[in-house]
Structure formats: C-alpha cells, structure tokens
Amino acid sequence: MSWNRTWGYLAICVLTFPGILCSLQEQRQVLLVSFDGFRWDYIYKFPTPNFQYIIKNGIHVEHVTNAFITKTFPNHYTMVTGLYAESHGMVANEMYDPVLNDTFSMNHMTIYNSKFWEDAYPIWITNQREGHRSGAAMWPGTDVKIHDVFPTHYMLYNESVTFQERVAKLIEWFTSKNPINLGLLYWEQPDEWGHILGPDNPCMEEVIRDVDKNLGYLVSELKRANLWDTLNVIVTSDHGMAQSSRDRIIELDLYVDRELYKMIDHSPTVALLPGEGKLDEVYNALVNAHPHMSVYKKEDIPNRLHYNHNSKIQPILAVADEGWEILQNKSDGFIWGDHGYDNMLPEMHPIFLAHGPAFRRNFTKQAMNSTDLYPLLCHMLGISPLPNNGSLDNVKDLLVSSVPGAPQPRFLVDYQQGSYAFYMGIILGSILIFIFLLAFVRHLTYSQTPAVWGRQTEMTQPLLQP
C-alpha cells in the first residue's frame, strides 16, 4: 500500500527540484550602487557610454517615484527598508525628536545616534539574520550600529576615500573565502556638483562624464574579478536635482518673526517647530504668505506623500514649488541646485538600471516605486522581506523568471560557464538528494508508524488520485 504514497513523494520531489534550481539561479549576489543626486534624465542630456552599456544589456526603469521628502537620508533608507519615510523614521537630513529631545544632523556626528535609525530594520540586518554576509562602502547608515548590528563588513564614512578604494573593498568582500551576498556602494557625485553648479549648467557635462567613468571602472573591475556574469548589479540614486535662481527665493522673515519658531530642516522642504503655544500664529502667518510655498499643519500633509505618522515630523511643513527656495533671509546660503521637493516632480526622480543573471536584457519599464526595490532585493537574495510598502509583483517583470521558458535555458548557460566548484556542487547535491530519497523510500516501505502516516496521507492523497 505504501508504494503509491512513496511514488507520490518521489513525484513531488522530482517536480519541485527544477523549481529549487530555478530559484537558486536568482538567489545570487547583489550589488546595489547609488550615485547621489543622479537625475533620471542625465543619461539623455550628456554622453554616458557606460550607462548605455548597462541599459543595452540589462534593464532600465525610466521613472522611479522616490520617497518624500526627496532628500538623501530618507531615500537611502527607503531603498533598504521598502518603507515610506514616516514608517522608517529617517524623515529628513536634519531632525529633531521631541520624544528623545535630541537632534540629528547629516553634517554632524549626530548621525551615529542609533535611536534615529531604529524605527526600521534595514536589509543588511535581515540578510545577516538569515545566515548571509553583507558589505557596505559608505552607504548612509551602514557605519551606524542599528539594533545592535553592523553590516558584516563596512567602511567608516569618509568622503575622501576614492571611488576606486570603495570598489576594491567590495570586490575583496565578494571574492573572499566567506563571500558577501549583498554589497552596497555609495558615491557622493553628481549631487555635490549639482548643488554648486545647478543641473542646467553646461559644466554638468564634465561631472556626469566623470560619474560615467566611475561606472565604467566598476564594470571593468567586476569583469576582471570574474564577477560581472554572476553578480546582479543595480545602479540607482536617491533623488534628482532642480535648478534654483536668485529670483526664486521666499524669505520667511518677511512674514513671521523668527523668534516664534525653530527651523529644524531646511529648504526647499522646511520643517518648523513653533514655540510653546505659537502653532496657530506661525501657521496663519505663513499659510497664504507666498504663491510658491505650500504650508501644512502636520495632520493636513497630503496622504499621497505618506509623511504624517512619525514624531520626528514637525508640526508645520512648508514645501516650495520646484525651483524655489525657502530661506529666512536672502543673505542666508544660496545654492544653484536643490532637491527635497514633491516626489511627483520628474526632476526629483532618480536613475534606475540593472544588469545580471536575474535581470532581463535590453528591457525598458516605464515606471516603478522606489519602495518596490526592497522586496526585489529580498527576492534576489532569497531572504524574507519584513513588512514594507512595496510589492514584488510591481517589478517582477524586470526578472528573467517572468519570461516564460527563459529560466531553464539561462540556467543551462550559467551551468556550462559556471565554476568547477559550482558544477561539482550541483552533482554532489543531486547525488545526495538521490541517496536520501532511496533511504526515504526504503524507510517508508518498511515503516510501521500509522499515526504519522495517517496525517500525511490526507495531504498527499489528492495528488495521487488518478
């Protein structure tokens, strides 16, 4: 009687084995690269041969709706958590937490205050909890102890460390005896020059050429290390950049006494903490003050921005229209390019390209949400995503596995080109599974354990019906 069941088990195993192989094929190493402030359309405005090379051989998403506010820390944390800023808690580059009575500033050592990061668990923590290893070259937050954890390997943030040195570290970690499966690489350009020059300045061409050269360097080093064909590389950014002008400055001092509030986060999306009992006075003074400035009480911030539910979001938020700056006084610092505006604005959108065995080739997608990157990364790493605001369904068309019939031949190609160790691993694995099955079959055939059988029979029986 148990032969039927046994063949049923065997059938299930045989049927699921190719599935396991297919998912193995996607569960590989991933390198996530961010070029800070790389606007989505720089690749159309300036010569970028290395970006074009990845587009031709991989995928390209034209518009990524990033997280509001469109600044560096909120968006780098969204990419590694899949959460809107209100949920991951990194709500701005400059913050005040009234619960902790503590401040956080990108320009000071206060970024090492763990508490500000601990509303969420970034992907490297989950990756390591599931037994893998992560390596980070200056990605925001990766040198901060978050929930008592650092990435397996990381570099202390130091802007003077060159792109080449960062790449060298990542390659060392990817090729070590205990390799990482997740790498994170951050580079400060073209954001810094974008602020100084403004995105419309013709000198941006030189800046973008330089970033493109860096990307070319990364690709050639990955090829040299024999990683290019097996590594899934995603090249993206946190936000874009908009052109400012001295003719588009909104001066708060003209409308409200600066003694009545504290400016916590700065232009173009300004977080204001009114003095005790001064909320309505400050709000009323500003709400209709300028046609190019929207002013919200915290509870009235539009839902689509997902920017309400966090104690670090201040009682008043003033958002400038694109290209406008909100300063207290015209003599305050002025910059030619800025970001932080509404995330619906195309100028705020980042670049998004990817290449690797998991990704389709020469495939362009119109749009995605940056919250979808996290479930995509988890899928590729084979780890379980924590609750998040993205969806793998929205982006799985980027993957080879979404194309009917594609995974099998692709696996065979990789198998032939794969290393000796990989080849032997598959053969040994198959032999072990076969031996295990044989032993299992023998065990089932002679086993006399009706209690366990009874339960399992209910599950397998339907599969055995002719």
Ligand X SMILES: *[C@@H]1O[C@H](CO)[C@@H](O)[C@H](O)[C@H]1NC(C)=O
Residue 264 to residues 232, 318, 335, Cα–Cα distance (Å): 39, 11, 19
DSSP state for residue 330 in the 8-state scheme: T
Q: Which does 191 bind (CB under 5 to 8 A by kind): Zn ion, ligand X, none?
A: Zn ion
Indicate the residue among 158 and 178 with the shorter CB distance to ligand X. 158
Among 70, 72, 78, 152, the active-site one is 72
Q: Closest Cα partner for 74 from 98, 51, 95?
A: 95
Rounded Cα distance, 34 and 439, in Å: 50
- Closest CB 230 distance from Zn ion, rounded Å: 33
CB 37 to Zn ion: min, Å: 5
**Residue 257's binding partner out of ligand X, Zn ion, none, with CB under 5 to 8 Å set by partner kind:** none
Residues that bind ligand X (CB under 6 A): 56, 83-84, 87, 101, 158, 160-161, 253, 306, 329-331, 362, 367-369, 387-389, 394
Measured at the CA of 320, the angle between CA 83 and CA 77, to 5 degrees, comes to 20
Q: Which residue is nearest to Zn ion (CB)?
A: 191
- Min. distance of Cβ 375 from ligand X in angstroms? 12
CB 120 within 8 A of CB 150: no
Q: Does 191 bind Zn ion (CB under 5 A)?
A: yes
Candidates 21-29, 191-199, 289-297, 358-366; binding stretch for Zn ion (CB under 5 A): 191-199
Structure tokens at 78: 């969204």
Q: Report the residue number, 35 or 352, with the smaller CB distance to ligand X.
A: 352
User: Which residue in the shown chain puts its C-beta closest to ligand X?
Assistant: 387
- Cβ atoms of 8 and 463 within 8 Å: the answer is yes
Q: How far is the CB of 258 from ligand X (least distance, A)?
A: 7
What tokens appear for 316 in the block?
């008043």
Active site residue 72: yes
Residue 293, amino acid: M
Q: Which does 369 bind (CB under 5 to 8 A by kind): Zn ion, ligand X, none?
A: ligand X
**Which partner in Zn ion, ligand X, none is near 101 (CB below 5 to 8 A by kind)?**
ligand X
Partner whose footprint covers residue 83, from Zn ion, ligand X, none (CB < 5 to 8 Å by kind) = ligand X
Estimate the crossing angle of helix 420-446 against helix 2-26, to 10 degrees. 160
If you count them, how many residues does the chain have? Answer: 466
Alpha helices in 240-336 (DSSP H): 279-287
Active site residues: 72
